[in-house]
Structure 1
Amino acid sequence: ISGTHPPRTRRRILLDFATHTHPEQPAVLSNARVLGEGIDVPTIDAVVFADPKNSPVDTVQAVGRALRQTPGAGKKATLIVPVYLTPDEDPDDLLGADAYTPLWRTVQALRAHDERLTARLADPRTHRPTLGSEDPGAWLHFERPTQQEEVALALTLRVLNPKSAEWRRGLTAARRYHRTHHHLDAPQTHEDPDGYPLGRWLTWQRHLHTTGALDPARTHALERLGIIWNPQQHAFDRGLAHATAYTHHHGHLAAPVDHHQDGFALGRWLATQRKRADDLAPPRAQALQDLDPHWNPPWPLTWHRSYHAARRHHTAGHRLTDVPRDYNTEDGHRLGEWLHKQRLHPERLHPTQQQLLADLDLIQKAEPSPEKRKPAARKPEQGLAAARAFHRREGHLDVPQRHVEVLDGEPVRLGQWISNARRRKERLPAERIRALDVLNMRW
Structure 2
Amino acid sequence: MPVGKAPEDGEEESRLLLRFAAPRDPALIAKWISYQVINTERQDWRRGAEAALRYRQREGDLDVPYEHVEAVGAFPLGRWLSDQRRTFRAGTMTGERAAELEELGIVWDTADAGFATNLGAARAYYELHGTLAAPRGAAILDVAIGQWLTNVRRPGGLGKDPGRARRRAAALAAIDPDWNPGTLGWTVDWQRHYAYLTQLLASGARLTAIVPGVTRHGDDIGRWLATQQRDWDRLNAEQQRRLATLGVTKAPRARKTAAKTAAASGPRTGGEAFQKGLEALQQYIAREGRLPGRAVVEVLPDGTEHRTGIWISNQKARRDKLDQAQRAALAELGVDWAAG
TM-score after normalising by structure 2: 0.53
Show structure 2 runs of 5+ residues with no match: 1-38, 251-340
Q: Does 1:295 align with 2:295?
A: no
- Aligned residue type for 1:177: Y
Aligned residue runs from structure 1 range 260-279, under 5 A: 260-276=139-155
Cα deviations across residues 1-22 of structure 1 (Å, max 9, x unaligned)?
A: xxxxxxxxxxxxxxxxxxxxxx
| Contact 1:321–1:362, Cα closer than 8 Å, also in 2 | no
Counterpart of 2:219 in structure 1 is 333
CA 1:187 to 1:213, structure 2 compared with 1: closer, same or farther past 3 Å? same
Structure 1 runs not aligned, ≥5 long = 1-160, 365-443
Q: CA deviation at 1:231?
A: 2.2
Match of 1:250? 129
Matching residue within 192, 208, 213 for 1:305: 192
Equivalent position SS for 1:285: helix
What percentage of aligned pairs have identical amino acids?
37
2:117 matches 1:238: yes
Structure with the higher helix share, 1 or 2: 2
Q: CA deviation at 1:220?
A: 0.6
1:174, distance to aligned residue in structure 2 (A) = 1.7
Alignment of 1:47-126 (within 5 A): none
1:393 aligned partner: none
Instruction: Tell me the residue number matched to 2:244.
Output: 358
Deviation at 1:313, TM superposition (A): 1.3
Q: Which residue in 2 is equivalent to 1:396?
A: none
CA distance in structure 2 between the partners assigned to 1:243 and 1:170 by the alignment: 35
> 2: distance between equivalents of 1:350 and 1:296?
16
Which letter maps to 1:211? A
1:317 to 204, 212, 216: 204
2:70 corresponds in structure 1 to: 192
More contact order relative to length (CA 8 Å, sep ≥ 6): 2
The CA deviation string for residues 84-137 of structure 1, in whole angstroms up to 9 with x for no partner, is: xxxxxxxxxxxxxxxxxxxxxxxxxxxxxxxxxxxxxxxxxxxxxxxxxxxxxx
Give 1:371-386 correspondences, 5 Å limit: none
State the distance in 1 between where 2:58 and 2:246 align.
49
Going from structure 1 to structure 2, the CA distance change for 1:332 and 1:207 (only over 3 Å counts) comes to closer
1:199-239, Cα deviation, whole Å (9 max, x unpaired): 11110111111222212111011112332222233333233
What secondary structure is seen at the aligned counterpart in 1 of 2:50?
helix
Residue 44 of structure 2, aligned match among 136, 157, 166 = 166
Cα offsets for 1:252-302 (capped at 9, x unmatched): 111222333333332222222211269752212211221211111121111
Say if 1:320 and 1:339, in contact at 8 Å, map to a contact too.
Answer: no
Q: Does 1:177 align with 2:55?
A: yes
SS across alignment from 2:106: coil
Partner of 1:24: none
| 2:234 counterpart letter in structure 1 | R
RMSD over aligned Cα, in angstroms? 2.7
Paired with 2:58 and 2:175, the residues of 1 have a C-alpha distance of: 32
Q: 1:353 to 1:179 in 2, by over 3 A?
A: farther
For 1:215, the equivalent position in structure 2 comes to 94
**Quick one: which amino acid aligns to residue 175 of structure 1?**
L
Q: State the shift of 1:197 in Å.
A: 1.8
- In 1, Cα distance between equivalents of 2:206 and 2:106: 52
Pair 1:205-2:84 in alignment: yes
CA distance in 2 between partners of 1:198 and 1:249 (Å): 39
Question: Equivalent residue for 1:427?
Answer: none
Which residue of 348, 351, 360 corresponds with 2:234?
A: 348
Deviation, 1:163, is 8.2
Contact 1:257 1:268 in 2 (8 A): yes
Aligned mates of 1:345, 1:199 — CA distance in 2: 56
Shift in CA distance, 352/290, structure 1 to aligned 2, threshold 3 Å: farther
In the alignment, is the contact (CA less than 8 A) between 1:327 and 1:335 conserved in 2? yes
Q: Structure 1: how far apart are the matches of 2:88 and 2:55?
A: 20
CA distance in 1, matches of 2:96, 2:102: 10
Amino acid at match of 1:350: N
Give the letter aligned to residue 187 of structure 2: P
The answer as to 2:112 corresponding to 1:228 is: no
The one-letter code sitting in structure 1 at the alignment partner of 2:188 is L
Query: Which residue type is aligned with residue 289 of structure 1?
Result: A
Whole-angstrom CA distance in 2 between matches of 1:228 and 1:218: 14
Give the counterpart letter for 1:216 in structure 2: G
